[in-house]
Amino acid sequence: MVMMLCLQTVVVLQAQDLHFSQFFNSPLTTNPANTGFIPDADYRIGANYRNQWSSVMTVPYKTISIFGDAQVFRNKLENGWLGLGLLVLNDKAGSGSLTSTKIYGSVAYHQMLGLSSLVSAGFNIGWANKRIDQTKLKYPDQFDGKFFDSNLPTSVVLTNNNVSYLDVQAGMNYAYFPHENIYINAGYSIQHVNRPKETFFADKTNNGRIPFRHTAFLNAILKVNDRVIVNPNAYFSTQALATELVFGINGNYNLSEFGEKQLLAGVYYRLGDAIVPMLGFEIKNIQFAFSYDVTLSSLSKFNGYRGASEISIIKKGFYPDNVDRQSICPKF
């Protein structure tokens, strides 16, 4: 099963891109217009780690992201500012050590519309590399009836086991905050705008070009009282024949007078696939969150409901001369 999965990864290369269940804690992978879109801070840095399918694969999928973004020119542009960001992604999948490394720089512009609305547009440009260790792969024509024998000849020929290309994404966001206890925003983005080619085979056709990935999200932050803030949200993504819909709610419970300590808890559902409980805490603008994908699909018969574990860490802050800036979203 593991070897067939690896072969499918190599040959098709049209599966959905990297993703995180905690999409709300991975803003730059969700939409480049999120760059500098920080309603309660001037800058943030963060990291995400995902370990998937360790119960059914000899070598599980491991995805890591590191990101940082900041608001600039906030006092020089009338009712607006720029966001600058950097995102680094690394993913290793399966027995063939299929490894992806991606580095993106992003820019976004944010413009206030009156006192209660904000519109944003952004893009990123990055370098992407994908490589595989062909010596670790086995193919259907190497099956001798009982085992896969890597010493048997194969008709599968990879002309290149290391490919690199330029990748471009673009997106837009809108936020509405009528008063201090309500904040709503939504966004839409397109990834692989330039349709880069990614293939390990000798390819003289258009096959191997990465399909567009369309992503949309809807988010709300609602302050219930001085102790509780709830955050319902949803995420939808589609690429080629793959779709993903995740929706749910998380909340913050204030454990201190001014919100220096908070408890986080939530639950999400990935349609047709998994339920994702989440637990975390925040101390002095540093947030830690852990989630686990509990498989509910037919795969649960093989993995015993064990899907993926995920950890996120985010640090937010203000510039030294801007500590009194008012937040545009509910806050303790």
* Whole-angstrom distance, CA of residue 264 vs CA of residue 281: 5
**pTM for this predicted structure:** 0.85
> Do the beta carbons of residue 265 and residue 291 sit within 8 Å?
no
**Between β-strands 242-254 and 261-270, what pairing exists: parallel, antiparallel or unpaired?**
antiparallel
CATH fold, domain 2-322, is Porin (2.40.160)
* Whole-angstrom distance, CA of residue 316 vs CA of residue 82: 17
- Tell me, what's the pLDDT at 205? 56
Token pair listed for 59: 């070598």
Residue with tokens 């454990």: 255
- Tell me, what's the pLDDT at 2? 36
- Tell me, what's the pLDDT at 127? 97
Tens place of pLDDT per residue across the chain (332 aa): 333 333 333 333 344 577 899 999 999 999 999 999 999 899 999 999 999 866 655 667 899 999 999 999 987 887 899 999 999 999 987 666 789 999 999 999 999 998 899 999 999 999 999 988 777 776 676 676 666 666 677 767 677 888 999 999 999 999 999 988 999 999 999 999 999 988 887 765 557 889 999 999 999 999 999 999 999 999 999 998 899 999 999 999 999 988 899 999 999 999 999 999 999 999 989 999 999 999 898 877 767 777 889 999 999 998 887 666 777 888 88
User: Which of 92, 31, 29 minimizes the C-alpha distance to 60?
Assistant: 92
SS3 of the chain: the string is CHHHHHHHHHHHCCCCCCCCCCHHHCHHHHCHHHCCCCCCCCEEEEEEEEEECCCCCCCCEEEEEEEEEEEECCCCCCCEEEEEEEEEEEEEECCCCEEEEEEEEEEEEEEEECCCEEEEEEEEEEEEEEECCHHHCCCHHHECCCCECCCCCCCCCCCCCEEEEEEEEEEEEEEEEEECCEEEEEEEEEECCCCCECCCCCCCCCCCECCCEEEEEEEEEEECCCCEEEEEEEEEEEECCEEEEEEEEEEEEECCCCCCEEEEEEEEEECCCEEEEEEEEEECCEEEEEEEEEECCCCHHHHCCEEEEEEEEEEEECCHHHCCCCCCCCCC
* Whole-angstrom distance, CA of residue 312 vs CA of residue 316: 13
